[in-house]
Structure 1
Amino acid sequence: MSTVLDVKGLNCPLPILRTKKAIKDIAVGSVLEVIATDPGSVKDMEAFCKQTGNVLLETKDAGGTYTFKIERKA
């Protein structure tokens, strides 16, 4: 099951703060799909996953729109 979080148009630190909140609302083992336009979110999502123990399954860049798939582990 996948939940989608749209943070397009938001700049750092809002995408990561909203991701942090949204991931708490899904079950362990579920996937959160985050859609962002902030280029800084690429490094932010990698760091967030390392710090929280969640798994960054996929990162896509479609012309400035970034999609991240994060599996909740903790």
Structure 2
Amino acid sequence: MCRHTSANEAQSLTAPCVMLVSPTTALIGNFGQRDFAFAIDQHLAQERCNAVSQAIESKLTADLASVNMQR
């Protein structure tokens, strides 16, 4: 069972523990080895940026593919 723990308590847990603090802060986990923290807001911003970049690249590629070469 996972419960809110301090850093010292988290190290003594034997079962894996994952805690979602809030959507704008971090996902914190302890898998019995090293502490793991994941910044969800940074990840979502990066994924959003990647999706926008891919959409722009796809649109430009499609537009360029439909252009007839003129002499």
Answer 1 or 2: higher relative contact order, Cα 8 Å, separation at least 6: 1
Q: Does the TM-score normalized on the shorter chain lie above 0.5?
A: no
**What's the TM-score once normalised by structure 1's chain length?**
0.25
* TM-score, structure 2 normalization: 0.25
Q: Say which structure is richer in strand.
A: 1
